[in-house]
Amino acid sequence: MRREKQTTKAFYKHSETDQVLVIERRCDGAIVGSCPATEPLKNLDSYQCSLDANLWIQESSDRLELM
């Protein structure tokens, strides 16, 4: 797979709402997709990220903490 096509997923927690999200990024840091994480947390690959909330994620990035 070409390097620019590779993505990684990680759990992030919103510092004000405590909402846990899964965010998928390309190797250059661009957001590919995101989705809310369900409790209890599952394997990252089991979450299907979409583009729906990307603008909100970008606007809230200063309040998201990597878990």
Phi-psi region of 18 (alpha: psi -120 to 50; beta: other; left: phi over 0): left
State the Cα–Cα distance between residues 23 and 36, nearest whole angstrom: 9
pLDDT digits 0-9 by tens, 26-39? 999 888 999 999 88
State the Cα–Cα distance between residues 30 and 46, nearest whole angstrom: 21
Burial class of residue 49 (count of CB atoms within 10 Å of its CB; 0-12, 13-18, 19+): buried
pTM, two decimal places? 0.84
pLDDT digits 0-9 by tens, 7-55? 999 999 999 999 999 999 999 988 899 999 988 999 999 999 998 878 7
DSSP-assigned letter for residue 12:
E
